[in-house]
Amino acid sequence: MSTGRHDDAPIAARVRHLESTLERLGVLAPGEIDAKVDDNARTGSPAHGARIVARAWIDGDFRRRLLEDANTAIRDLGLSMAGGVQEQRLEVVANSATTHNVIVCTLCSCYPISLLGPSPSWYKSEAYRARVVREPREVLREFGLELAPSVDITVWDASAESRYMVLPQRPPDTGALDEPALAELVTRKGLIGTALR
């Protein structure tokens, strides 16, 4: 997300400035650092969120339980939100034809790292945290996600106790795909809500 602003803490601003300079000079492709982070964590955390989504796409009972009590449901896959002293609450919110969900933490950058991997730099930026609440449609458009005016956008604000994850809609024409193949369709941005899946 390009905002043209450097109003975060000085270190974060310098990192973003260096990243944009390297992109402008052609040393890095746009988004390359976030892509590398995704690649490094592929065998770990982001794959966990993708597995959860794929299971929900093929198993209606799991989907129902996931939306009612995500902490209990993800144990079916050997996953947990217990990373610290106490288990964090996980809320999974489902996209539909009429509703699109996006997550943010307006106070800091609370995020389900155990399920989505390291948070992308833009998720932690002050610009994203402030703007996605005020103008979610415009922010999503900057990510390349153009939603119909009839689609309602709900922004979920994470906290120290609660984390959110988006359950994207299953793509059409995927009925023949098995669970691992479906999981390959899911991206970290889709789990945050800045992409369709």
Active site residue 108: yes
**Angstrom distance (rounded) from CA 197 to CA 194:** 9
Active site residue 2: no
Name the active-site residue from 109, 114, 121, 125: 109
Name the active-site residue from 110, 114, 119, 121: 110
Active site residue 105: yes
51 burial class (0-12, 13-18, 19+ CB within 10 angstroms)? Answer: buried
String of DSSP letters for 140-175 = HHHTT----TTSEEEEEE--SSEEEEEEPPPPTT-T
Name the active-site residue from 2, 96, 108, 119: 108
3-state secondary structure of 68: helix
Query: Strands, E, within 11-147: which ranges?
Result: 89-94, 99-104
Q: Of 176, 145, 163, 170, whose CA–CA distance to 57 is shortest?
A: 170
Name the active-site residue from 105, 114, 119, 121: 105
**Angstrom distance (rounded) from CA 175 to CA 195:** 21
Give the residue numbers annotated as catalytic, written as ranges: 105, 108-110
